[in-house]
Amino acid sequence: MVKPCSHVSSNCSFFCCLFVSSFFVNSFFSLPFPRSEQIEFLLAFKNEFPILKCDFRDSKQKTNSWTSKDVESFDGVFFDYETGAVTKLDLRAACLSGTLSANSSLFRLHQLRYLDLSSNSFDSFSFLPELGKLTDLEVLHLSYMGLSGEIPSSFSSLNRLTELDLSNNEFVGSFSPLLNLSRLSYLYLSNNLFSGCVPCSLLTTMPFLSYLNLGENHFTDSVETLNCSSSSSSNLETLYLNYNHLSGRILEPLSKLTNLKKLYISYQNTTDPINFVSSGFKSLEELDLSGNAISRLNISYSNLKVLLLDNCGINEFPIFIKNQQKLQILYMENNRLKGEVPKWLWSKPSLYALLLSDNSLDSFEGSPVMLLNSSLNVLDLRSNAFRGSLPIISHVFMLVSNNSFTGDIPLSLCDESYLEILDLSHNNFSGSIPRCLSNSSIKYLDLRHNNLTGRLPDLFNNSGSLITLDVSHNQITGKLPRSLTNCTNLEYLNVESNRIADTFPFWMKDLPRLQVIVLRSNMFHGPINSPQQPVSFMQLRIVDISRNQFTGSLPHDYFVNWSTPLISIPPMERKLLYVGVDYSSTYHPSMYLRNKGINMELEKILEAYTIIDLSENKLGGHIPESIGLLKSLVVLNLSNNDFTGHIPSSWANLTRLESLDLSRNQLTGKIPQELATLSFLEYIDVSHNNLTGQIPQGTQFGGQPKSSFEGNLNLCGRPLDHSCFRDKAPEAQESEPSKQEQVLNWKAAAMGYGPGVLFGLAVGQVIYSYKPVLFYKLFRL
């Protein structure tokens, strides 16, 4: 009985082993196995760019990882599983710069189906025609490359392309090389220099084209546009024509695009008004007419989901909106709306976002119950004329700044579990800040410019989501709540112009994302230096502690451990990035500062902007030499303190400095000549110190007013009227008269030779004893 079982067991084991072996063999041979010549082409291409220049933050030196030893290290490269050929090359923002030649190894990768060279910088465009050799390409991205001239004729051979992106360049001329690309589904030509008519040929020769972006060019109306006879058969669903020079006449031919779902024709630089009375557009779901004068607006169909009518000069709510039951987003900002917001807006079952800022609206039609039951998640009522108590509406984003709302902040706001943005700034709210707000899920809390009193709630225990907190320009007292250390996502803190009495918040240095601290105009006091708690913020870009009562001196190494963004010059950005901005809405924090001698407001705070303002305190001692480490610093204000000693020459390293204010201190010595090399320095104020010597000459100093140097008795040179001749005069020696003094003695003696040798010697001795500088000047000796 045992043997048969053993035999069966042996057979099972054999087949199991055979199956496992087969699995591993198949798996092994199914892995990507690049052909050797493909590796050679890639390495040769890598060697064409020995120096990789990463100018932008999101750049990555992908080709650095390419080696002949490890195939998996070929970042951005995809090999075909069966042929071993390179089929996809994603080199977007790969730090490539210099020359991409026409005989580059790139053009030997004939089986490429996907190529992205966007956001690289080549000094020649001779490679463009060679792209026509890659006839297997299905996707080609060449955006943000500074390309200019006409689209190469060789592109017509890329007849397998389904997606082509040439946006954000400087292309001009004809579209004829693209007319053979009959398989195109997505075509991006925005932000170039194309002009003339909107060519119908793009629609009639591309039957699969569903997305076309021609925005931000110089297109105008033309006969060809108006005779687009074959457009009715087009499959086009999305069309961007925004920021061109089109008039309302363009709408008639576009209405023949029966499959069009999204139409963006905002901001046409023309005086012709748009008359949008729809007879076509039966499939339209999104419509953007913003930035255009509208003479008539009436839409009979009811498929609209998104309607954007910003800055159109509209003075009343269009009645047709009342019938749009599918409407989800309505923008009517910066118009001439006034009076009540109609109650039928709140009854829209799908309305998600309503933006009505920058109008003259002052009230709501209907009962508060209607507002409470609304489907809205985003409500923007900023810069209107609303007054009275704040209506309670269930929202995710609630923006009501720059109105005249009064009373207490409603406690019911704490019940909004999904509330992310609460902007009540620039109103007349009074009372204390509800304690429950600090324990909610709010990301952006802006209460600036109200009449709030009491303390900041010390209950930030579950507020890891808080990104910005602005309670500036109120009447808040007490101390900063230490529970703010729980707000690990906090980027922006502004408590300016309150009555907070506290010491410097060394304890906030552990917040990993904190970029802006504004403590200006309070009653903070004590030292800003502590051996036990060195100042070492991780991401700090802006610190303004001016107009307080901070005291003490700063050690020479005070700035050694400051944040990386201040010490390192950051790479450039492809787009402007702002501190504490929610890119899903229009909210952004702002701040006041003193820059270049002027009080101003930063409506948006660029991440590249760096500021240190310690002015109007009681800080003393020498200015630390280590401040020269802050290479990215843009604004430095140390005025109205008690700093002594010399201006550090290490400031020659502050190559991005634009504004420097050292006025009203007790600084001595000369102004370092190195400051004249700071090419970005536009504003300098060293007035009312004890500086001496000649003002450095150069563009930076010569363009300053006299007031920037006044109040220094021994300072001379342009732009002051005081000459520096005295500084060039030789100093007298106690031990031995100089040669000029000896000559002067002899001439004085000779002058008295006639009347008497003794009288002449006496005159010479008197002149010598009083130093001869004035005498030299009068007689040019």
pLDDT at residue 139 in the model = 98
Please, which pLDDT band fits residue 18 given cuts at 50, 70 and 90? very low
CA 469 remoteness from chain centre: 20
Percent of the chain with pLDDT over 90: 51
Nearest-angstrom CA–CA distance, 687 and 192:
49
pLDDT, position 595: 86
Alpha carbon distances (Å) from 719 to 118, 163, 716, 724: 49, 61, 8, 12
What's the pLDDT at 251?
80
- Picking from 333, 331, 329, 387, the residue whose alpha carbon sits closest to that of residue 357 is 333
100-109, 355-364, 749-758 — which is least confidently predicted? 749-758
582 band by pLDDT with thresholds 50, 70 and 90: low
Q: What's the confidence (pLDDT) of residue 144?
A: 94
pLDDT of residue 703: 81
Q: Distance between CA atoms of 674 and 651, rounded to whole angstroms?
A: 7
The three-state (H, E, C) secondary structure of 142-167, written as one string: CCCCCCEEECCHHHHHCCCCCEEECC
Band of residue 757 on the pLDDT scale cut at 50, 70, 90: very low
Cβ pair 231, 258 in contact under 8 A: no
Q: Which of 74, 64, 70, 79 is nearest to 32 (CA)?
A: 79
Average pLDDT, the chain: 83
The whole-angstrom separation of Cα 195 and Cα 173 is: 8
Mean of the pLDDT values across residues 356-385?
87
**Alpha carbon distance, N-terminus to C-terminus of the chain:** 134
- Distance of alpha carbon 472 from alpha carbon 399, whole angstroms: 17
| Res. 328 pLDDT band, cuts 50 70 90 | very high
- Which range is least confidently modeled, 236-245, 303-312, 736-745? 736-745
Q: DSSP readout, 481-492?
A: -GGGGG-TT--E
379's tokens = 């409500």
What number of other Cβ atoms are within 10 A of residue 102's Cβ? 13
pLDDT bracket for residue 734 (50, 70, 90)? very low
Query: Phi and psi of 42, rounded to 5°?
Result: -65, -45
For the segment 61-84, what is each residue's pLDDT rounded down to a tens digit? 899 889 877 777 899 999 998 899
Q: Band of the pLDDT at 106, cuts 50, 70, 90? A: very high
CB contact set of 595 (below 8 Å; sequence gap of 6+): 611, 635, 658, 659, 683
Say if residues 617 and 641 touch (Cβ distance below 8 Å).
yes
Q: Which long-range contacts (CB under 8 A, 24 or more apart) does 697-701 make?
A: 700/675, 700/676, 701/675, 701/676
| pLDDT digits 0-9 by tens, 529-558 | 887 777 788 899 999 999 999 999 999 989
Which bin fits 392, alpha (ψ -120 to 50), beta or left (φ > 0)?
Answer: beta
Mean pLDDT, residues 252-280 taken together: 83
pLDDT at 739 over 60: no
pLDDT in tens, 415-442: 666 788 999 999 999 999 988 776 667 8
- Torsion sign over Cα 64, 66, 70, 76: positive
C-alpha dist (Å) from residue 151 to 125, 167, 178, 763: 11, 12, 8, 91
CA dihedral sign, ordered 711, 712, 716, 718: negative
3-state secondary structure 645-708: ECCCHHHHHCCCCCEEECCCCEEEECCCHHHHHCCCCCEEECCCCEEEEECCCCHHHHCCCHHH
662-700 pLDDT, tens digit each: 999 999 999 998 888 888 899 999 999 999 999 888 777
Peptide bond before 719: cis, by omega within 30 degrees of 0? yes
pLDDT at 33: 67
**How far, in Å, CA of 53 to CA of 777, rounded?**
59
pLDDT of residue 583: 59
Domains of the chain: 497-728 (3.80.10.10), 739-779 (no CATH)
pLDDT-based confidence at residue 87 (cuts at 50, 70, 90) = very high
Residue 397: beta bridge partners?
A: 378, 421
Average of pLDDT values for 266-290? 84
Average pLDDT estimate for 115-121: 94
Q: What is the pLDDT of residue 744?
A: 33
Which of 25-29, 259-263, 695-699 bottoms out in mean pLDDT, i.e. has the lowest?
Answer: 25-29
For 225, list phi and psi in degrees, rounded to 5.
-60, -45
Answer yes or no: pTM beyond 0.85: no
- Between CA 691 and CA 715 the distance in angstroms is 6
Winning range, highest mean pLDDT, from 23-27, 275-279, 350-354, 371-375: 350-354
Q: Residue 69 has what pLDDT?
A: 73
Residues 6+ apart with CB under 8 A from 742: none
**What per-residue confidence (pLDDT) applies to 282?**
84
At 493-524, the pLDDT tens digits run 999 999 999 999 999 988 999 999 999 999 99
Is the CB of residue 399 less than 8 Å from the CB of residue 587?
yes
- Cα 460 to Cα 437: distance, rounded to the nearest angstrom: 9
Task: Report the C-alpha gap between 208 and 206 in whole angstroms.
Answer: 6
pLDDT at 256: 81
